[in-house]
C-alpha cells in the first residue's frame, strides 16, 4: 500500500467494517476483457462474503467463466470542504475521510443447502435494521429454490482508514473542532476518530 500510515493491519477492524456495511461492489472479468462492477447487497459471515442473485445474468456468467473477483466496501466519513480553509481557499485541498476494505478472492455458487439457508437468513438479518421479526428461512421456503447464493472466499484482504494520519496533533484538533461544529453526517464520527488517533 502506497500510504502505509493509512493501512489497517488489524483483521478485527477490517471485519468490523465489513459487518457495518451492507452494500459492496463486486468486480468480475467480462467476456469482452473489461472489468464488470456490480453493487450487491451482502452479508459477511464466517469469513466469507455472501450475496444472492438471479439464476442467470452477466455477473454469474463472468463468475462461472473466471471465479477470480475483487470486492470492496467503503464508509465515507466527513468531507473536508473549502469552508475549513477560510478566504480564497485552494480547491485542491478538499478531502474525504473514510474507511475501506478491498478483498481478492474466488466466487462460487453455494451448493450446500444448509450454507445457502444460513447466508439468506444472514442477509435478511443484516438488512433489517432495527431487527425485524421474520419467519426463519428454511430449506423448504419456496424462494430458496428461486435464487442463487454466491460466496466470495477471501484469499487476501486489505483495509485503509484516511484520518489525516500525516497531520500533527494540533492540526487534528483543529480539524476535529471544525467537524464537530459543522455537524454534518459523518462529522461527529470523524471528529472522534481524529481525536483518538493523536
Write down the residue that cell numbers 472479468 correspond to. 29
Rounded Cα–Cα distance for residues 80 and 83 (Å): 8
Task: Give the start-to-end residue ranges of the domains of the chain.
Answer: 4-166
3-state secondary structure of 52: strand
Show the cell assigned to 142. Answer: 419456496
Residue 94 confidence class, pLDDT cut points 50, 70, 90: confident
Cα 177–Cα 178–Cα 181 angle in degrees, nearest 5: 85
Residue of higher predicted confidence among 13 and 7: 13
User: Which pLDDT does position 81 carry in this prediction?
Assistant: 87
Mean pLDDT over residues 53-74, rounded?
95
Mean pLDDT over residues 120-124, rounded?
92
DSSP symbols for 94-163: -EEEEEEEEEEEEEEE---HHHHHHHHHHHHHHHSSS----PPP-TT-HHHHHSEEEEEEEEEEEEEEES
Cα-Cα end-to-end distance for the chain = 22
Are the CB atoms for 156 and 105 separated by under 8 Å?
A: yes
Rounded Cα–Cα distance for residues 130 and 127 (Å): 9
3-state secondary structure of 41: strand
Averaged pLDDT of the chain:
91
User: Which pLDDT does position 71 carry in this prediction?
Assistant: 98
User: Which pLDDT does position 122 carry in this prediction?
Assistant: 92
Res. 111: pLDDT tops 90: yes
User: Which pLDDT does position 42 carry in this prediction?
Assistant: 98
What architecture is domain 4-166? Roll (2.30)
Residue of higher predicted confidence among 55 and 45: 45
For residue 110, report the phi and psi dihedrals to the nearest 5 degrees. -75, 120
User: Which pLDDT does position 128 carry in this prediction?
Assistant: 82
Res. 4: pLDDT tops 80: no
Res. 1: pLDDT tops 60: no
In tens, the pLDDT along 129-187 reads: 766 677 888 888 888 888 899 999 999 999 999 888 888 899 899 999 999 999 999 99
Predicted TM-score of the model (pTM): 0.89
Write down the residue that cell numbers 447464493 correspond to. 149
User: Which pLDDT does position 198 carry in this prediction?
Assistant: 63
Contacts of 32 (CB under 8 A, 6+ apart): none
Amino acid at each position: 500500500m502506497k500510504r502505509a500510515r493509512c493501512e489497517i493491519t488489524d483483521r478485527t477492524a477490517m471485519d468490523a467494517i465489513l459487518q457495518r456495511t451492507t452494500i459492496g461492489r463486486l468486480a468480475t472479468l467480462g467476456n469482452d476483457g473489461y472489468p464488470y462492477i456490480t453493487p450487491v447487497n451482502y452479508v459477511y459471515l464466517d469469513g466469507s462474503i455472501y450475496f444472492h442473485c438471479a439464476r442467470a445474468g452477466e455477473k454469474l456468467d463472468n463468475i462461472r467463466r473466471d471465479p477470480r473477483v475483487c470486492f470492496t466496501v467503503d464508509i465515507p466519513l466527513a468531507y473536508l470542504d473549502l469552508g475549513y480553509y477560510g478566504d480564497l481557499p485552494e480547491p485542491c485541498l478538499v478531502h474525504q475521510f473514510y474507511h475501506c476494505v478491498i478483498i481478492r478472492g474466488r466466487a462460487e455458487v453455494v451448493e450446500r443447502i444448509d450454507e445457502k439457508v444460513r447466508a439468506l437468513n444472514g442477509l435478511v438479518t443484516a438488512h433489517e435494521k432495527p431487527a425485524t421479526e421474520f419467519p426463519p428461512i428454511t430449506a423448504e421456503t419456496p424462494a430458496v429454490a428461486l435464487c442463487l447464493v454466491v460466496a466470495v472466499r477471501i484469499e487476501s484482504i486489505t483495509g485503509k482508514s484516511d484520518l489525516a494520519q500525516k497531520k500533527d496533533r494540533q492540526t487534528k484538533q483543529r480539524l476535529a473542532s471544525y467537524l464537530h461544529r459543522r455537524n454534518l453526517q459523518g462529522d461527529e464520527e470523524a471528529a472522534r476518530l481524529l481525536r483518538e488517533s493523536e
